[in-house]
Amino acid sequence: MKKFKQKTNSSAKKRFKITGSGKIMRRKTGMRHLLSHRSARTKIGKRGDVEVSSASKDNLRVLLPGL
């Protein structure tokens, strides 16, 4: 019986990064387009990455097996 390698989900590897300590980080939503009507305070608050919720971590571990 052949054993197959697990494949990393291509869409997940583009959207999530794993830190050295093992946290899964994602970008905040709402910063792609239609930014002209948003306040500066809103845009400042959406900078940077944030850790994925604990409810989503188990699903992401399946999509990102080698990481």
pTM of the model: 0.79
pLDDT value of position 5? 84
Residue 45 in any domain: the answer is yes
pLDDT tens for 4-59 read: 888 999 999 999 999 999 899 999 999 999 999 999 999 999 999 999 999 999 89
Is the pLDDT confidence value at 3 over 90?
Answer: no
In the chain, the number of structural domains is 1
Is 24 among the domain residues? yes
- SS3 call for 60: helix
Domain range for 62: 18-29+36-67
CA–CA gap between residue 18 and residue 6 (Å, rounded): 18
- 10 is a domain residue: no
pLDDT for 45 equals 97
